[in-house]
Amino acid sequence: MLGERLELRVTDRGPGVPDEGKDGIFEPFQRFGDAPRGSGVGLGLPVARGFVEAMGGTLNAEDTPGGGLTMVLTLRTAPQSPAPPPPGAAAERPTSARTLT
């Protein structure tokens, strides 16, 4: 966790993606490189990025040092709620009461 963000990195050591192709891999129906025919239609990354952005996050591709590709998913964390009162603590009482009959 990075403060108010959660970052997940998924790394591979494959051939990587050239800089000019990194934005294109997030376009629908785009397949990069020598993907075998019938191994997908090019919707996985665009759909994943759409879900992540709908949650206020980002999904990007970076070079892996030494070769390969790293997908970086970043999401905001939920705000921390205050701790519950300790057991036996007095409950808040209203400062005024009204009785209706």
pLDDT band at 86 (very low <50, low <70, confident <90, very high): confident
Superfamily grouping for domain 5-76: Histidine kinase-like ATPase, C-terminal domain (3.30.565.10)
Residue 9's nearest CA partner among 77, 74, 76 is 74
pTM of the model: 0.67
Phi then psi dihedrals of residue 62, to 5 deg: -130, 155
| Domain locations in the chain as residue ranges | 5-76
pLDDT in tens, 69-82: 999 999 998 877 77
pLDDT recorded at residue 83: 73
Q: Render pLDDT for 43-58 as a digit per residue (tens, 0 to 9).
A: 899 999 999 999 999 9
* Residue 96 tokens, joined: 């005024």
The residue type of 76 is R
Query: Helix-strand-coil percent breakdown of the chain, rounded to 5?
Result: 15, 20, 60
At 50, phi and psi to the nearest 5? Answer: -60, -45
79 against 13, higher pLDDT: 13
Distance CA 84, CA 17 (A): 49
